[in-house]
Amino acid sequence: MTRTIILGNGNMLVCLDKNARIRDFYYPHVGQDNHVSGRVHRIGVLTDAGFSWVSSEDWNLSIKYKKDTMVSEISAYNGRLNVNLTMNEVVHHEKNIYLRKLKVENKNPETRKIKVFFGQEFHISETNIGDTAYFDPTLDSLVHYKGKRYFLIGGESGKKSFDDYATGVNGPDDKVGTYKDAEDGILSKNAIEHGSVDSAMGFSLVLNGGESKEINYWIAVGEKYKEIFALKEFILKNTPEKLIRETEEFWKKWVNKSSLKFYELSEEVQDLFKRSLLIINAQTNKNGAIIASNDTHNFKFKKDTYSYMWPRDGALVARSFDKAGYSDITSKFFEFCSEVLSDGGFLFPKYRPDRSVGSSWHSWLNHGKIQLPIQEDETALVLDSLWKHYKRNKNEDVKKLYGTLIKNAGNFLVKFRDEKTKLPKESYDLWEEKLGVHTFTCATVYAGLEAAKNFADIFGEKQEKEKYEKAAQEVKDAILKYLYDKDRGIFIKRIYSDEEGNWLRDNTIDVSTVYGLFEYKILPANDERIVRTMEKTLEKLWCITPTGGVYRYENDKYYRTGKDASENPWFISTFWLAEWYIENAKKIGDLKLVEDLLKWATNRALPSGALSEQLNPNTAEPLSVSPLTWSHAGFIIAVIKYIGKYKILKGIKD
């Protein structure tokens, strides 16, 4: 199940599913630790017509964001109960507080009682062992805690606190949870429970016909009891309404700080551009770790998630932030990479936001010999992105990264090559699936060496400059020699070795092959070899159903919808095609192809604006995680490249 809404502040992230239920709650890092982990925080309503959880089928939901903000805008109507709910939620932009304003409207003409319940199911620090939930009469709140993690849950309606509550056991001995206690309208007022626990609270309202009343609900988070105590005082002193309003204004100002002109691009494209910036920011830690996605619904795949920082994804996201004018965020990303760089000068495939190495399925052995378990493009792309960051911003603080990140990574790229071919040695591809010498990876290594050369030049390191320059040219020449199929007139995906050390060719059509070649300047986008490779790519990888879009590669089985189903189109693959059209555009009319692909994306985003990783080729429904940071970064890059080319073709000068 996708995450339709995400709300965060760089330390804390709350994710809601398509039924407006909290399913992920991260603290103290975005992506680490998840204190809900796909379980459920619920909202339920009781009237004289019965009880219903808002996630039930008898509710008609609309789930969006308020324009240009990180504030949810949710409406839910239940015809059987004849109740309408409207809800706004935020994670405060400075304090670790989740706030929800819920307006309850009685759609009946007569006066009646309506009771609203909130159920909380925390698994603190990602386990349900040793938690405590209790009613705190001093704070007039429910508190869940374990170790250095405290969660205060409270609320008020018309200056009155909740009037019903319960804590209980959830999980062991087939106990389904305290939330079930709400369904008869009366909670037990059990004041404390420990182990695997949950809690619920209720607000009793009396509403005249057509009348509405508001409930303010909050969750404050801290490492110590005194922190949540202070946060509740902060909420009451400032009022939830004020805190929601100032957070809304903060995000409006943040996302509109750029003077970027969109020219003829539609309002829908502009809205998704801004939404993409906001979503990427929400998935970025204050320490610079850019997390791929925080949607834990994919636990079913080997019990792992996307809540990691892949250096490659982060490098491409950093490019999008730089292009949009948010270099303060990208500077922290490069510092993060410098801190986690291995002693050997390479980056591992992924990291947790606390700088520890993430999980991996890459072997340290290949045919009985030591194999670095890396994707070399990740190291190379960080250098390439850092150089582009410096060119745009000319910030002197990059100099401190020369000895720690740039030089060490550059030296690794020089050394990690085959002595005979001069190509990079085998590593895993950007899709993390196959070992070999991949065209895409080789192109990024060329770009990384060029970046190292440029930095060595500006910092007066002549010998280092010459070393990187020589290696870069050797890699480029070797790509053209070994990875180009003269018979077919196109580039191949990879070469790889067998157990005897013989080189074999992989002719799989992969969109990253052609993209890497023109994006990282191996050849221009209009070179006849690139054109032929792209033509073959579109012939094999364009989704011919109404869903449209570009597959990653032939016979891609990841999240395939059925044994006989086609591959799934990806947002990032489709944006790469848009970038190729932009590169080759010679007149304004040529940009129509790009506009069509940008419109394609806006039409396939969730109503909230979230972009998934993949799409069902038959229904266009989101597949895999959502939102995926990389998808949103790809959209931003394509839009900004479009604007740049539009200005060139129109003769517009800054």
Q: What is the pTM of this model?
A: 0.96
CATH number of the domain that residue 362 is part of: 1.50.10.10
What is the pLDDT at residue 432?
95
Tell me the pLDDT band of 1, cut-offs 50, 70 and 90: low
Among residues 527, 552, 583, the one where a domain terminates is: 527
Among residues 240, 272, 295, the one where a domain terminates is: 240
Residue 564 located in a structural domain: yes
Q: Tell whether 444 and 546 lie within a shared domain.
A: no
Q: Tell whether 351 and 438 lie within a shared domain.
A: yes
Tens of pLDDT, residue by residue over 101-160, are 999 999 999 999 999 999 999 999 999 999 999 999 999 999 999 999 999 999 999 999
* Overall average pLDDT of the 14-23 stretch: 96
* Overall average pLDDT of the 578-587 stretch: 98
Q: Tell whether 77 and 165 lie within a shared domain.
A: yes
Nearest to 517 by CA among 542, 540, 505, 534: 534
Q: Tell whether 198 and 343 lie within a shared domain.
A: no
348 vs 141: CA distance, rounded Å = 44
Q: Tell whether 283 and 407 lie within a shared domain.
A: no
pLDDT at 299 over 60: no
Q: Tell whether 402 and 488 lie within a shared domain.
A: yes
Query: Structural domain of residue 272, as residue ranges?
Result: 258-287+542-654
Q: Tell whether 228 and 341 lie within a shared domain.
A: no
Question: Which of left, alpha, beta for 457 (phi over 0: left; psi -120 to 50: alpha)?
Answer: alpha
SS3 letters across 456-503: HHHCCCHHHHHHHHHHHHHHHHHHHHHCEECCCCEECCEEEECCCCCE
Residue 554 located in a structural domain: yes
Burial of 652 (0-12, 13-18, 19+ CB in 10 A): exposed
Among residues 465, 500, 527, the one where a domain terminates is: 527
Q: How is 564-632 classified by DSSP, letter by letter?
A: T--PPEEHHHHHHHHHHHHHH--SGGGGHHHHHHHHHHHHHS-TT----SEE-TTT--EES-SS-HHHH
Residue 532 located in a structural domain: no
Residue 125 located in a structural domain: yes
Q: Tell whether 61 and 145 lie within a shared domain.
A: yes
Residue 397 to residues 120, 312, 390, Cα–Cα distance (Å): 45, 22, 9
Burial of 294 (0-12, 13-18, 19+ CB in 10 A): buried
Q: Which residues contact 148 (CB under 8 A, 6 or more apart)?
A: 223, 224
CATH number of the domain that residue 107 is part of: 2.70.98.10
Buried b (16+ CB within 10 A) or exposed e, 4-24: bbbbbbbbbbbbbbbbbbbbb
Q: How many domains does the chain have?
A: 3
What is the pLDDT at residue 38?
81
451-456-458-463 Cα dihedral, nearest 10 degrees:
-140
Tens of pLDDT, residue by residue over 231-255, are 999 999 999 999 999 999 999 999 9
Q: Tell whether 553 and 416 lie within a shared domain.
A: no
